[in-house]
Structure 1
Amino acid sequence: MGKTVGRIIEVKGLSVKARLNELLPPYLVKNGSYENSPKINGFLKSKVGLDTIICQVVGEISEEKNGIVEGHVLELQVKGYISGKSFIQGLRMLPIVSASVQLLDDVDMLSIYNDKAEKTIDIGNDLFDINKPIKVNIDNLIPSHIGVFGNTGSGKSNTLTRILREYESIICQSKTNRGKFIVFDINNEYTKNAICDESKKTIYRLKTRSNSGDKVPLNITSLTEDNFVVLMNASEKTQVPAIKNAYKWAFASDEDRREKSYYLNQVKSMLTNAKKSLFNSMRHYLKDYFSNIDHFKYHTLQNNFFFDDGHSRIYIENSLFNVMLNSIDLDLPIEPLDRFIFELYFAVAQENENGVQLDFMMPLISRANKLLSDFKKVFDFSIRSDDKNIIFNKKNICVIQLGDVNKDMKEIIPSLISSTIFDSLSQKKDDKGEIVQIISIVVDEAHNILYDEPGQTASHTKVLEVFEKIVKEGRKFGCFLMLASQRPSDISQTIISQLHNYFIHKLVNPSDIQKIRKAVAYLDENSMDFLTVLAPGECIVSGTAFQMPTFLYVTQVNLENRPNSENVKLFGNNGLFIRDNVDE
């Protein structure tokens, strides 16, 4: 039973006033430990029959008359009630005048925060009462879409890591492979032992500047013709038909593919009809597949090709020119990705024959070569399995490091992998139609990928569509999104508004605050007023995992498990300016 501290003197809807019996010190000692006296954002309770009404302190008033203090009054706001040891948010019951008000005891706190949970995640402590730990029901937090927002240095990376570390610990204790998460690491911060021991996770260090990076296994058949159309930003009327044609033949079965003679005839046609740009580009990029084409040169004045082996020249009018054409040979590419770019050249040639100018088609060839070159550096397309777990390599955690890939691939890689995971989970349920596995997709610094702005490219629109689909439909398939960002105002409104749980650290930009105000229906103005003054590590948590908005101090993750996102320290222990100078 909590200590009685006063009584109700006024009830007006949700607004309640209670007069304190006496002015209390900041802390009260009980059984060798202390607890907080009533303070702003703290909680009090009042009984109505067998039920307990929970109120939050939103104001304090000192009653004075002729300069003499006659009493102290607390302004309260009703938050819900406890019935049968369960906290229920709502207004079914209100306090009654003259009823006593008491401090909450440990049982009351458990009823509010733990919700009779079998397993909880230890996030931190109540910001206004550090003796009260906040343990969240894992069933209400992990299988949900989560957003962690806050300015640089506010502690959002620590909060995200804390959630993931606690979740990983529970997965290990349960000895199960039915819960996994994949982290898209934009700045290579989750390396080594970040979150957990390095041996417990699969890390892919991707690079597009060279071929020295790791490669993520991905089934090539997961790429549809629509993926290629969007990724290459193809124009609808002139370029899309060529891509669809190339995709059709590149991914056709062996018995349905075209004969080698078709391609040789097309090359001969390019030479005899003086398709200079197309032939030269094809010869440059497809040189590994053709032989005996190096000696064909273009005569600028005559506007046609001739054969020059360094000893003699054979012009198109000469009958020997056809002999040289017939000497061209071809080894068809085997790998689907190589076959696609190969087929694209001939699809472009076909469109040109149909009257489409090459000036409209050649930019497509350049984009395709760049895109597929990057694909080969970051993906391993040799696998033929649709199993989403291959990427985890028999572990429960996967980290995709994107710090050394170019901007386009930073968006494409998470989109393709997330889409594959979603599609795989949507098709995998047990005989009863129930979820057999959950996978959380974690995106740190999400504003780099999930931004929404006018005039964005078709490929970026496709990226947003993938994640918007996950946040709208993923719950019923066991696919969940967890993101962190310092700029919520940049992120798609659809994604922000569909999140279930929010951890909101300090925000000062008016656009960011307004975005949160519009998206988070659970937050009242009292909570919003605190966003600009929160200290590092402090946040407001709200959502389906919490009975009411709660002010929380998130416990710092152990040093060895922190991401590489700490503030630079110039002096003191291991300070930057007291170390030996670097070689210049």
Structure 2
Amino acid sequence: YTNQESHRKEIIKKLNIDELVLNKINHFDELQIRVNLSLINGILKNHVQYDNINPLLLRISSASKSLEKIIEIVEEIDQDDKIQIISLRECNQEIKKLFPILLAKEYFREHKIKNEKEINETFHLIIDEAHNILSHQSNREAESWKDYRLELFEEIIKEGRKFGFFLAISSQRPADISETIMSQFHNFFIHRLINDKDLRLIDNVISTLDRRSKLLIPTLPQGACIITGTSFDFPQIIQVNKIEEKNQRPNSDDIDLEEFWNKGEENGEAEA
């Protein structure tokens, strides 16, 4: 595992084979092989205790199997596209929390290094369904891991602006998101909210929203929103135009139950 030629020859000699070929395994399998070989080496030299280190190896194995399904490691990537869209729709809950941390941390670290002395470009990280990633309530993860996850995004939203790194989030459940993160946003686009917890959060966090605008939030029609924040002198109500061509707009239309049921009855009569 140390890639030393003497070790390699000794292994081949002991195994009585001509050559070791590992070209066909992927990077995640290689990682597991290397950590297990490192564990064996540590045990032989009495550097580690198996019972102490084995739980970590199990976590590496579990995370590797999940990440292997969504990550492909390549030598070069296409940097021409200015917009990258990453969907986690098919991922389990573990990956929905783990992968955004890896992604945000690496992009933020790389961007800070490039723009530490002078900002040459900006980076905009936009997170949809952010309550799945930035939730401060989770029974599926340890407290230390949850704290690390939230602290990373809190650092990004507090320190990112001076490096030209900006964060935008979208969520139907803002009350589930860390209040520290919510309080750091400068501008808000508020669509209809009817949950008491969400409305209380809006009341506590957004100081630029007047009482009249707050009362309108539960009754806003589809496509309407209240915009407020440091970029606006006062709260404004806007109506977003609907894209008429169905194949060009997001697949998020509300189902028309009356039309659906009538269609079902017509199909039933036709079959009869």
Q: Structure 2-normalised TM-score? A: 0.79
Amino acid at match of 2:96: K
1:531 aligns with: 217
Conserved in 2, the CA contact under 8 Å of 1:470 and 1:479? yes
Partner residue in 2 for 1:331: 20
Alignment partner, residue 49 of structure 2:
356
Paired with 2:266 and 2:163, the residues of 1 have a C-alpha distance of 51
Aligned to 1:469: 155
Counterpart in the other structure of 2:120: 436
Partner of 2:108: 422
| CA–CA separation in structure 1 for the residues paired with 2:177 and 2:159 | 18
Matched, 1:570 2:263: no
- Aligned pair partner of 2:189 in 503, 521, 536: 503
| Local SS of the residue matching 1:401 | coil
Shift of 1:568: 1.4
How large is the Cα RMSD of the aligned pairs?
Answer: 3.4
CA offset digits 1:167-199 (Å, max 9, x no partner): xxxxxxxxxxxxxxxxxxxxxxxxxxxxxxxxx
Letter in 2 for 1:449: I
Larger Rg: 1
Local SS of the residue matching 1:547: coil
Distance 2:64 2:31 in 1: 9
Map residues 225-240 of structure 1 onto 2, 5 A cutoff. none
Q: Structure 1, residues 123-168: CA drift from partner, whole Å, max 9, x if none?
A: xxxxxxxxxxxxxxxxxxxxxxxxxxxxxxxxxxxxxxxxxxxxxx
2: CA distance, partners of 1:492 / 1:340: 34
Partner of 2:200: 514
| Structure 2 unaligned blocks of 5 or more | none
Give, in angstroms, the shift of residue 522 of structure 1.
Answer: 0.9
Say whether the 8 Å CA contact 1:488–1:512 is kept in structure 2: yes
The 2-side partners of 1:364 and 1:576 are apart by 55
Q: 1:505 to 1:342 in 2, by over 3 A?
A: same
Q: What letter is aligned with 2:83?
A: I
CA contact (8 A) 2:128 2:171 kept: yes
Q: Secondary structure at the match of 2:222?
A: coil
**Cα deviation, residue 405, structure 1:** 1.6
Q: What aligned pairs does 1:266-415 form with structure 2 within 5 A after superposition?
A: 326-327=14-15, 331=20, 333=22, 337-349=28-40, 350-351=42-43, 353-354=46-47, 356-358=49-51, 360-383=52-75, 390=77, 393-415=79-101
Contact 2:126 2:167 in 1 (8 A): yes
> What is the distance in 2 between the residues matched to 1:438 and 1:576?
50
Q: Conserved in 2, the CA contact under 8 Å of 1:422 and 1:479?
A: yes
Query: Alpha-carbon deviations, 1:473-518, whole Å to 9, x = none?
Result: 2212222111111111100112111111101122222211111112
Matched position secondary structure for 2:201 = helix
Structure 2 SS opposite 1:551: strand
Structure 1 residues 210-249: aligned runs within 5 Å: none
Question: What corresponds to 2:8 in structure 1?
Answer: 260
State yes or no: 1:561 paired with 2:248. Answer: yes
Q: Deviations over 1:273-303 (max 9, x none)?
A: xxxxxxxxxxxxxxxxxx9xxxxxxxxxxxx
How far apart in 2 are the matches of 1:576 and 1:348? 63
**Paired residues for 1:162-201 under 5 Å:** none
Shift, 1:395, TM fit: 2.1
User: Relative to structure 1, is the Cα distance of residues 336 and 402 closer, same or farther in structure 2, using a 3 angstrom cutoff?
Assistant: closer
1:550 paired with 2:236, answer: yes
Pairwise CA distance, 1:579: 8.2
Amino acid across the alignment from 1:447: H
Partner of 2:130: 446
Counterpart pick for 2:227 among 537, 541, 549: 541
- Residues in 1 aligned to 2:266 and 2:112: alpha-carbon distance in whole angstroms: 53
- Residue 543 of structure 1 deviates from its aligned partner by 0.6
Going from structure 1 to structure 2, the CA distance change for 1:258 and 1:501 (only over 3 Å counts) comes to farther
SS in 2 for 1:416: helix
Higher helix share: 2
More strand by share: 1
Q: How many residues align?
A: 260
Question: Over residues 204-260 of structure 1, what are the superposed CA-to-partner deviations in whole Å (9 max), with x where a residue is unaligned?
Answer: xxxxxxxxxxxxxxxxxxxxxxxxxxxxxxxxxxxxxxxxxxxxx78xxx66x9933
Q: 1:471 to 1:578 in 2, by over 3 A?
A: farther
AA aligned opposite 1:342: I
**Distance in structure 1 (CA, Å) of the matches to 2:195 and 2:6:** 59
Change in Cα spacing, 1:564 to 1:423, as seen in structure 2 (3 Å) is same
SS at match of 1:471: helix
Mapped contact 2:191–2:224 kept (Cα < 8 A): yes
CA distance in structure 2 between the partners assigned to 1:355 and 1:435 by the alignment: 45
Query: How far apart are residue 542 of structure 1 and its match?
Result: 0.6
Verify the 8 A CA contact 2:39 2:48 in the aligned structure 1: no
Deviation at 1:351?
4.8
**Contact 1:568–1:576 under 8 Å retained in 2:** no
Q: Describe the superposition over 1:324-344 as per-residue Cα deviations: whole angstroms up to 9, x where unpaired.
A: x94466837577544431232
Distance of 1:513 and 1:425 partners within structure 2: 35
| Counterpart AA for 2:8 | K
Higher relative contact order (CA 8 A, sep 6+): 1
Matched letter for residue 421 of structure 1: Y
SS in 2 for 1:409: helix
1:497 maps to a residue whose letter is S
- Aligned amino acid, residue 516 of structure 1: I
1-side partners of 2:249 and 2:266: how far apart?
22
Q: TM-score, normalised by structure 1?
A: 0.40
Shift of 1:426: 1.5
Matched AA of 2:135: Y
Do the aligned partners of 1:570 and 1:578 also contact (CA within 8 Å) in 2? no
Q: Secondary structure at the match of 2:31?
A: helix
